[in-house]
Chains A and B, each alone.
Chain A
């Protein structure tokens, strides 16, 4: 029998003059719970895994048995689960809300992808099992290669790179190998990179021993063929260009640029970070591109996981195809194989330049990406690209009257770039505006990138947002914009107020780096 006498079932009317929530004893605020570091609460003798000591035996460790303590805290399973659940509650995620980080393509991550990646036939196979026992894995890789090649119109694909920057390195190494094979390794040592490029591009070029020659972007945010021609010469190995570019625009002279680069004896590397805008609409192979990485964790929705893992297969033109790294997959209907060693390719047209990583690459990501592709199909992928572009343009069109567009109110691709001109004299910066979005329940857009635009705000809504979701987002940004222009500066400069933490002191973190937990007594000893 219910005994709920005296239990009120409606809350008392809120008292408008009541003070804001009081300071709590625990420091928690309802569902938002503070959580200590593992090292402050764990106990070395507790374990969440039951393992029996083995029977006594004669060790074969030689004289190398561990003498120094591990200093690792232990937890029972319920304690460990609670720790990580509480930590998770301090994170924003695409599952919880719109995540408009430009150039990051934070789209929905279908859970079917997670389910298929966990099939024992994929998750529980070893990279060095006999090839006869992993024919299904090779079939899957072959199928993914087919989709990537068809969608990009390229000739082959190097599967093993583990992320976008790793793919860039792979593509640029293939270019370097091709140039060395031509006997021009000593003379071609410059790579052309536009100012607007992502930082990984110049870093990659430098990593493999090239010097960087910058070309500026035009007033309209794109690179002109004329500027590229002026930078070309017999010392140029390649150009690295992002298309659609980091300003969210399609490089309209890209075909001319490709031709100019090829005429000068160079190769064309395309950063494929923004492929989501054009999949099923434009094939990079038709534009004259020689190599392009594809971020499976962006375009093909393998989850970002708080910063990885990703996967960055590189599609290659016919000219570069002989120079892919090991391993090479050979797949056919009857039998498939992995070629892991250069000796197996002796006498063939293939001249692998080496190896990007141990084993074969990011199988777990391949399964997820192919699952995503099969679910969408040719029609769904094309529709996804169109919706991504449509959504970005809708955001642009609905904000163009209150925020400023550096390149005018003209169509963009899958992301809309604003600058901070409209914030002039408000006392509010791009950073402040972004932090105020946090209080409204949104993850901020990409800020201060690309560098060529002052106070850049790069908004990529992706195809995963409904019209209702976009409308609420737009209304929120409009409300914030009007508020900034009205001079309600505190709403911005003091933001965020409602997140698990207020603004963090990055200067302190960098001046006195604390990169690990240390026993408190050790700190006081060190201070003495």
Chain B
């Protein structure tokens, strides 16, 4: 069973037990360019699948980050406030956005795994 899933909006969720770590994909950070600001959800907030959870801004673009699955925000990556560049440097590592306690793990089935996402990216040209 894969541990990382992706959405068509380029969020990823890395599953560790019943916790999901959410961020944006390497492709997304490259499209955005230098990230200058990240607005994170409040700890304890309950967010539904597909609802806006965060905002990521580069110099020339702003985009919403949606929750890949429903859950409660367990933790946020406060380090991004001072160093938003981490999103560019290590989107899958230190550049994570927030951790979710996953309400219903069956929602993961509707997402893409690594291979499906790689194939999806190819269709975007």
Output the least CB separation between A419 and chain B (Å).
Answer: 16
Contacts of B34 in A (CB 8 A): 507, 511
User: Hey, which chain A residues are within 8 Å of B59, CB to CB?
Assistant: 506-507, 510
Prevailing SS type, chain B contact patch? loop
B95 within 8 Å of A by Cβ? no
Q: Is B65 located at the chain interface by the 8 A CB criterion?
A: no
Residues of chain B contacted by A511 (CB below 8 angstroms): 34, 36-37, 84-85
Within 8 A of B (CB), among A501-523: 506-507, 510-511
Q: How large is the interface on B (under 10, 10 to 19, 20 to 34, 35 or more residues)?
A: under 10
User: What are the residues of chain A within 8 A of B85 when measuring CB–CB?
Assistant: 511
A511 CA to B33 CA in the complex, in Å? 13
Interface size in chain A (residues, C-beta < 8 A): 4
Residues of B82-123 whose CB lies within 8 A of A: 84-85
In A479-507, which residues have CB < 8 Å from any B CB? 506-507
- 0/1 interface trace, chain B 67-90, chain A, CB 8 Å (1 if under): 000000000000000001100000
CA distance A510 to B57 in the complex (A): 9
Bitwise interface map of B from 20 to 51 toward A, beta carbon under 8 Å scored 1, else 0: 00000000000000101100000000000000
Complex CA gap A23/B37 in Å reads 37
How far does the alpha carbon of A21 sit from the alpha carbon of B36 in the complex, in Å? 37
Distance (Å) between the CB of A505 and the closest chain B CB? Answer: 9
State in angstroms the CA–CA spacing of A133 and B78 once bound together.
Answer: 62
Which residue in chain A gives the minimum CB-CB distance to B85? Answer: A511
Least distance between A44 CB and chain B CB atoms (Å): 35
Question: Which residues on B sit within 8 Å (CB–CB) of A506?
Answer: 59
**What residue in chain B is nearest A507 (Cβ atoms)?**
B34
**Who on chain B is nearest to A448 by CB?**
B60
B84: chain A residues at CB < 8 Å are 511
Nearest-neighbour CB distance to chain A for B7, whole angstroms, equals 21
Q: Which of A159-185 contact B (CB under 8 A)?
A: none
Residue of A nearest to B57 (CB): A510
Nearest residue (CB) in A for B34 is: A507
Pick the most buried of B36, B37, B57, B85: most chain A CB atoms within 10 A of its CB. Answer: B36
Nearest chain A CB to B33's CB is how many angstroms away? 8
Alpha-carbon separation in the docked complex, A507 to B83 (Å): 12
Q: Which residues of A contact B37 (CB under 8 A)?
A: 510-511
A98–B85 Cα gap in the complex (Å)? 38
- Distance (whole angstroms) from the CB of B60 to the closest CB of chain A: 8
Within 8 A of A (CB), among B55-69: 57, 59
**Which of the listed residues B34, B57, B85 has the most CB atoms from chain A within 10 Å of its own CB?**
B34
**How far is it, in angstroms, between the C-alpha of A280 and the C-alpha of B109 when the chains are bound?**
62
Scan A374-401; emit 1 where CB is below 8 A from any B CB, else 0.
Answer: 0000000000000000000000000000
Residues of B within 8 A of A510 (CB): 36-37, 57, 59
Q: Report how far A63 CA is from B34 CA in the complex, Å.
A: 50
Min CB–CB distance B104 → chain A (angstroms): 30
Cα A510 to Cα B84 with chains together (Å): 11
CA distance A506 to B61 in the complex (A): 13
Residue of A nearest to B59 (CB): A506
Interface residues of A in 344-396 (CB under 8 A from B): none
Expressed in whole angstroms, the minimum distance between the Cβ of B108 and any Cβ of chain A is 31
Give the docked Cα–Cα distance between A430 and B17 (Å). Answer: 47
A456 to chain B: closest CB distance in Å?
Answer: 14
A9→B93 CA distance, assembly (Å): 68
- Distance of A506 Cα from B84 Cα, bound (Å): 14
A507 vs B37: C-alpha distance in the bound complex, in angstroms? 10
> What's the minimum C-beta distance from B52 to chain A, rounded to whole angstroms?
15
A507 — which chain B residues lie within 8 A by C-beta?
Answer: 34, 36, 59
How far, in whole Å, are A179 and B123 apart by their CA atoms in the complex? Answer: 44
Residues of A within 8 A of B36 (CB): 507, 510-511
Instruction: Give Cα distance in the complex from A507 to B33, angstroms.
Output: 9
- Nearest to B88 among chain A residues (CB) is A507
B interface footprint on A13-49 (CB within 8 Å = 1, 0 otherwise): 0000000000000000000000000000000000000
CB distance from B97 to the nearest CB of A (A): 17
Residues on A with beta carbons closer than 8 Å to the beta carbon of B57: 510
B57, chain A: closest CB distance, angstroms = 8
Of all chain B residues, the one with the shortest Cβ separation from A511 is B36
Cα-based distance from A506 to B85 in the complex (angstroms):
13
Q: How far is the CB of B65 from chain A (nearest CB, A)?
A: 18
In the bound complex, how far is the Cα of B37 from the Cα of A506, in angstroms? 13
Q: Separation in Å of the B87 CB from the closest CB of chain A? A: 11
Q: What's the nearest-Cβ distance from chain B to residue A510, in Å?
A: 4
Measured between C-beta atoms, what is the minimum distance from B114 to chain A in Å? 29
Bound form: Cα–Cα A507–B59 in Å: 6
CA–CA, A507 and B84, complex, Å: 11
Kindly provide the distance from the CB of B109 to the nearest chain A CB, expressed in whole angstroms: 31
Identity of the chain B residue whose Cβ is nearest the Cβ of A510 in the assembled complex: B36
**B84: nearest residue on chain A (CB-CB)?**
A511
In the complex, A511 Cα to B37 Cα: how many Å?
A: 7
- Docked CA distance A478–B39 (Å): 45
Task: For the complex formed, measure the closest distance between the CB of A420 and the CB atoms of chain B, giving whole angstroms.
Answer: 15
A506 to B59, CA, bound (A): 7
Assembly CA distance A404 to B85 (angstroms): 35
- Distance in angstroms from A237 CB to nearest chain B CB is 25
Chain A proximity of B59: nearest CB distance (Å)? 5
9 A-B residue contacts at CB 8 Å? A506-B59, A507-B34, A510-B36, A510-B37, A510-B59, A511-B34, A511-B37, A511-B84, A511-B85
Chain B residues in contact with chain A, CB under 8 A? Answer: 34, 36-37, 57, 59, 84-85
Q: A510-B59, A511-B84 are in contact. List 11 more A-B contacts (CB 8 A).
A: A506-B59, A507-B34, A507-B36, A507-B59, A510-B36, A510-B37, A510-B57, A511-B34, A511-B36, A511-B37, A511-B85
Chain A residues within 8 Å of B, Cβ to Cβ = 506-507, 510-511
- Which A-B residue pairs are the 3 nearest by beta carbons? A510-B36, A507-B34, A506-B59
